[in-house]
Amino acid sequence: MSTFTIFLILIMIVAFLLVVVIMVQNPKGGGLSSSFGGGGGAQIGGVQKTSDFLDKSTWTLATIMLALILFSNVFIMGGTTMQSKTFDQNALPAVPTTEIPAQPAE
């Protein structure tokens, strides 16, 4: 399995988890988080702790995703610097110059 495949799988897993965590939370107390025990009177942990956990999970997963994307760029390129051939005149093929004869003025 190549490095690209490993990073791609990890990024997809983190992206899926990030979507799930964002969909579960709702800042007004409704939404899917109330379906999982947030709407009742007797709660384990309480609503505030649940929203704190979801908020921390969102930031953690977003940070992990950013780090994976940045590290994937470094590791996939092998740590070498890629230079643009647009600005390197030696890398361009030599274009033969042909002179166009001037049109006589009429």
Give the pLDDT band of residue 41 (cuts 50, 70, 90).
Answer: very low
User: What's the structural domain count of the chain?
Assistant: 1
Q: Give the pLDDT score at 100.
A: 76
Give the CA radius of gyration of the chain: 28
Tell whether 61 is covered by a domain: yes
34 is a domain residue? no
Q: Does residue 36 fall inside a structural domain?
A: no
Asked which of 55-59, 68-72, 85-89, 94-98 is least confident by mean pLDDT, the reply is 85-89
Question: Does 99 map to a domain?
Answer: no
Give residue 65's pLDDT.
Answer: 95
What does the longest C-alpha to C-alpha distance in the chain come to? 99
Residues 6+ apart with CB under 8 A from 91: 85
Write the pLDDT tens digit of every residue in 49-66: 777 888 899 999 999 999
Q: Would residue 13 count as lying in a domain?
A: no
Distance between CA atoms of residues 36 and 63, nearest Å: 26
Q: Which residues contact 4 (CB under 8 A, 6 or more apart)?
A: 72, 76
**Which residues span the domain enclosing 66?**
48-79
pLDDT at 83 over 60: no
CA angle, 69 as apex, 65 and 75 as ends, to 5°? 135
Q: Is the pTM value of this prediction over 0.75? A: no
d(CA 18, CA 15): 5
